[in-house]
Amino acid sequence: MIDVRKNIRIAVETGKVYIGSKHTIRAIMHREAKLVIVAKNCPENIKNDIFRYAKIANIPVYEFNGSSLELGSVCGRPHVIAALAIIDPGASDIMKVVGGNSDKTR
């Protein structure tokens, strides 16, 4: 089982990641995202939009088992992050969460 928090951090540091729900939705609509991560407490309307657009674009979504404040901390940011899009995972193994080792994927 992979350490999701560690791999998110590695992806942010070594890959290409769009942070924020607006950027994430845009990345989904342009089919740039390889994986989308949403915080457990992401506002329901935003979460629904992300899941709907990701399903249409066939992009996996991982629901982070923590708050948006915790997700911000994992990313090394001093603010909340409701959602992020992994464009390039860099040196991380974050794409392995799609393989069924995740808390919740749709």
The pLDDT assigned to 103 comes to: 43
Q: Is the pLDDT of residue 100 over 90?
A: no
The pLDDT assigned to 66 comes to: 96
Which residues fall within 8 angstroms of residue 5, CB to CB, at 6 or more apart? 74
Residue ranges of domains in the chain = 4-92
Average pLDDT value for the chain: 93
Q: Is the pLDDT of residue 83 over 60?
A: yes
- Specify the higher pLDDT residue, 105 or 18: 18
Q: Is the pLDDT of residue 105 over 70?
A: no
CATH number, span 4-92: 3.30.1330.30
The pLDDT assigned to 106 comes to: 54
The secondary structure of 13-59 as a DSSP string is: HHSEEEESHHHHHHHHHTT--SEEEEETTS-HHHHHHHHHHHHHHT-
- Confirm if 68 and 39 have CB atoms less than 8 A apart: yes
- Specify the higher pLDDT residue, 106 or 5: 5
Report the alpha-carbon distance of residue 41 to residue 89 in Å, rounded.
24
The pLDDT assigned to 15 comes to: 97
**Residue indicated by tokens 């740039």:** 32
Report the alpha-carbon distance of residue 22 to residue 11 in Å, rounded.
19
